[in-house]
Chains A and B, each alone.
Chain A
Amino acid sequence: MKHTKRLLALLVAFCLIMTSGACSGGENSSSQGSESSKQEVSVSSSEESTPASQGPEAYSMPICEEKISLSLFSGLDSKASVSIGTMEDNYTMQYYESISGIHIEFFHPSSATSIGEALNVMISSGEYTDMIGSIMNASDGPDTLIENGVILRLNEPIDQYGYYLGQIFEEYPEFYNQVLTYEGNIALYPTSRLDPSTRYFESFVIRQDWLDQLGLEKPTTVDEWYTVLKAFATQDPNGNGQNDELPFVGNSNEQMGVYRLGALFGFNACFYKEYACSVLDGKITFASEAPQFEDYITTMARWYAEGLIDPEYASTDATSWQEKVLSDLGGCFYGKMNGGIGTLLGSYDYENRDSDFNLEPLSYAVTDDGASYDFYSQEIFDQGGIAVSTACEHIKEAVQWLDYMYSDEGQIMCSFGEEGVTFAYDDQGVPHYTEMITEAENLSLVQAIAKYTMGGIAPRMVNDIYYWDAVMSYDQQRMVYDAVSPSSTERKVPQSLKYSMEDQDRLTMLMGDIQTYYQETLNAFIMGTKPISELQDFRDTLKSMGLEEAIGIMQASYDSYIANNA
């Protein structure tokens, strides 16, 4: 024990020397970055918003002639843990090792606890792996982690060695801006959703067979929504002779409930998404302050009273929610492309239930101003990625190992593995999995993919569109993109708003009580236990809880975000 400790201390010291040497060129800007005060940030980051001009040098495989080993902290995906105990046994990882000359020693925390917990424990023990995945789940923000010497600022290493990511950053400047931290650091090799269609995977979903049966079209306005839900409630689409349909079913998970219906009115009422804020006329606006709010709660209260919303929506857990859809009670809900549409279509008991059960995604309703608004799609940077720790001795190799996964070949390699073994191209140049994967014994398709490739699992970098396409079983899932993507995202608060450590702490603290009060009272309005006439009282109470200060913090961050992206 003692022996290893001393060895580790030596290693750390050694690599501190290494890093200070390697980064000497960028040292000035790095210390500037961390010392810069709030006002300077917009200046310094706009300076950096175009990556260095001379660009990193190209490299080719193998990354190093003599084999080296790097350790990586990364969750083991459940699809993989079914068949393998570590990603070191993954076929594509072994293939990547053979071409790059870099062995990855995985450190998989148990998936039974949150990865943040495992990460915090590792950080506090002071013994880091060379590379650290899921770094955004640590309780300390990326700037704090860099400042306190846990992970490296990657701006300079990327300038020097990040040949492919550098190109991607030039191609997608907004991506670069999303990745930069408040202090202008790049804290990690970011995972991304480069193809737009990978940014849409949830929507409202409706029983299309019920619509067909009643001769109705998909609703496109709130009024049409009312007509459809009313018809579901009164015309017995499930044909059992009882008025037992629950036109809109939500569940007690706040992400899936009636809060989402705010989007139909052109604002965001969902607290877990950017604290229930929307951007209205360039201003960050909390749900209760939005002009649409009163219309929303009035309508919801009416729908609830008329039985258009499941009366038990607040106490329905995920299981009973599915039960309601699968037993022909629920007519419409908010769901995920896979977990909602895919799973439910696959689980329905077609044999014993005389039904043409069919689910299709709905577009957001058109509001009074003629546009529809989307608050729930993703950005390119999906807040994940891999950081390089201060314990790493081989920064160049680590960065290039990560970087290669951003090349065209690297992306295909991650999702599909080795050509001729795990996949083959068809005439159109589209990759397809070989029988080694599609016919794998005892494993489902996604499990087999996760055993032999990095398709859909860490440590791959890019959400690959071919992979998405390969694992979708139903056309209805593919329809989600067409249904949702035309809606405008101009009112959506950017996911990657950045805050200083103090601001973030303050915001989190203020929003704590506001969340409880907002959600509790919103439900009371909808269920009619609180009259809408008390709306002003509701707004006043929120103000007394410090809402304005919280919104002020967000507004300041939003303003600098806009300035950077202009």
Chain B
Amino acid sequence: MRKKNIGRRILRDFVFNKYNYLLLAPALIYYIVFHYVPMYGAQIAFRDYYVTKGILGSDWAGLKYFEQFFTSYYFERLITNTVLLSGLNILWGFPAPILLALLLNEVRSQLFKKSVQTITYLPHFISLVVACGIIIDFTKQNGLINDIIAFFGGERILFLQSPEWFRPVYIISGIWQEIGWGSIIYLSAIAGISQELYEAAKIDGASRWKETLHITIPGIMETIIILLILRVGKLMSLGYEKVLLLYNETTYKTADIISTYVYRRGIQNAEYSFASAVDLFNSVINMALLLIVNAISKRVQGSSLF
């Protein structure tokens, strides 16, 4: 009975929304062909994968590779490091571009505003290898930052060999590189806010602080929330490249995260099945986090992905 109803409802929807389906069709085909068809490849997490045997021809391994990961000597440390590095990175790194966008919004001189925008977005385009080379150069024992510390009478710090400094270096350099690029989306959202609201506020005699608080921020809230949900949904899959370039054996204690561990084992040693088991584990956690944050935001704020 109900099934029939749903079928009929979809059919009616199809007729009613025919243009909507038409608009959606190219993207739908794209997702099916290039994402859903290849997805059978995820099975290699449950198989002893050999390239020569192919994905479907390799023997089933059950949960062997998941077990290997869960019983690894470093399992707990990897989870802790990943969650902390990624979480702190969101905590500090996520608001930074919003703040920049709000500050830029307060600048009256168009020339200055545009210059700052253009300049702050430059570091995004410097390849990670070079950017990390600059970071290493700045943070070394006789580098610029240590020179400044020494000038003020402080003790020189071996930033990249101290586990307690790894996270700050990682996060601050991340903000430095991405703040301008990240603010672009918020600037465009601010541009979308209706100018009438501001004019009405001015008539009411609102200060600029009040304007920001009551018009600008609520105006871009939807964008903020959506981007935050997406960001939290990637908590467990922090990329390995930057960490790989900045860490070393002496900072493993705080710096070794799941993706670097998988890089060392899965990519360098070509343990494909192991690597995809870890990936799958990460994806499940990410998906769960995304659904949770989405539900919370739906209830509290009213904006959500679905």
Contacts and interface: CB of A to CB of B under 8 A. Distances in A.
Interface of A: 116, 120, 123-124, 138-140, 144-145, 147-150, 252, 254, 311-312, 314-317, 319-320, 505, 508-509, 512-513, 515-517, 519-520, 522-524, 527, 529, 545
B52 A320 contact: no
A37 B272 CA distance: 26
Contacts of A505: 48
Given A315-B136, A317-B133, 4 more contacts: A123-B51, A508-B269, A516-B74, A520-B249
Contacts of B272: 139
B194 interface: no
Given A315-B140, A315-B250, A509-B68, A124 B271 contact: no
B137 interface: yes
B239 interface: no
Contact of B72 (A319, A513, A527): A513
Contact of B141 (A254, A312, A319, A509): A312
Interface string B44-65: 0000101111100000000000
A523 B72 contact: no
B245 to A, nearest CB: 8
Contacts of A529: 250
Contacts of B274: 509
Interface string B251-268: 011001000010011000
B140 A516 contact: no
Contacts of A523: 248-250
Contacts of A144: 50, 52
Contacts of B48: 505
B270 interface: yes
B172 to A, nearest CB: 17
28 contacts: A139-B51, A139-B272, A144-B50, A147-B52, A252-B248, A254-B249, A312-B141, A312-B158, A314-B161, A315-B136, A315-B248, A316-B140, A508-B269, A508-B271, A512-B264, A512-B265, A512-B271, A515-B264, A516-B74, A516-B252, A517-B73, A520-B250, A520-B253, A523-B248, A524-B250, A527-B161, A527-B250, A545-B73
B141 A311 contact: yes
Interface of B: 48, 50-54, 68, 72-74, 133, 136-137, 140-141, 158, 160-161, 245, 248-250, 252-253, 256, 261, 264-265, 269-272, 274
B150 to A, nearest CB: 14
B51 A138 contact: yes
A527 B248 CA distance: 13
B72 to A, nearest CB: 6
Contact of B158 (A116, A148, A315, A509): A315
Contact of A516 (B68, B245, B264): B264
A320 B54 CA distance: 43
B248 A319 contact: no
Given A520-B249, A523-B249, A312 B51 contact: no
A545 B75 CA distance: 13
A116 B68 CA distance: 25
A145 B253 CA distance: 39
A531 to B, nearest CB: 16
A150 to B, nearest CB: 5
A320 B135 CA distance: 12
A252 B278 CA distance: 27
Contacts of A314: 160-161, 248-250
Nearest to A120: B51
B52 A516 contact: no
Contacts of A317: 133, 136, 245
B51 A315 contact: no
Given A314-B161, A508-B269, A512-B265, A140 B50 contact: yes
Contact of A311 (B50, B158, B248, B269): B158
**Lowest 9 CB-CB distances: which A-B pairs, in order?**
A315-B160, A148-B52, A139-B270, A519-B249, A314-B248, A523-B249, A512-B265, A314-B250, A513-B73
B271 A509 contact: yes
A140 B52 contact: yes
B270 A116 contact: yes
Nearest to B253: A520
B136 A320 contact: yes
Given A509-B271, A509-B274, A312 B161 contact: yes
A524 B253 CA distance: 11
A510 to B, nearest CB: 10
- Of A145, A254, A312, most B-chain CB atoms within 10 Å: A312
Contacts of A508: 269, 271
A516 B256 contact: yes
A123 B52 contact: yes
Nearest to B245: A317
A124 B256 contact: no
A513 B256 CA distance: 12
B146 to A, nearest CB: 11
A258 to B, nearest CB: 11
A118 B17 CA distance: 45
B161 A315 contact: yes
Contacts of B136: 315, 317, 320
A135 to B, nearest CB: 12
A317 B137 CA distance: 10
B137 to A, nearest CB: 7
A148 B53 contact: yes
A324 to B, nearest CB: 10
A19 B231 CA distance: 56
Contact of A124 (B51, B252, B253, B264): B51
A148 B58 CA distance: 11
Nearest to A527: B250
A182 to B, nearest CB: 15
Contacts of A138: 51
A320 B137 contact: yes
Nearest to B136: A317
A509 B71 CA distance: 12
A319 B137 CA distance: 10
A508 B270 CA distance: 9
A209 to B, nearest CB: 23
A116 B272 CA distance: 13
A125 B52 CA distance: 10
A447 B196 CA distance: 67
Nearest to B269: A508
Contacts of A513: 72-74
Nearest to B49: A139
A147 B51 CA distance: 12
Contacts of A148: 50, 52-53
A484 B264 CA distance: 31
A505 B272 CA distance: 11
A461 B225 CA distance: 60
A48 B72 CA distance: 42
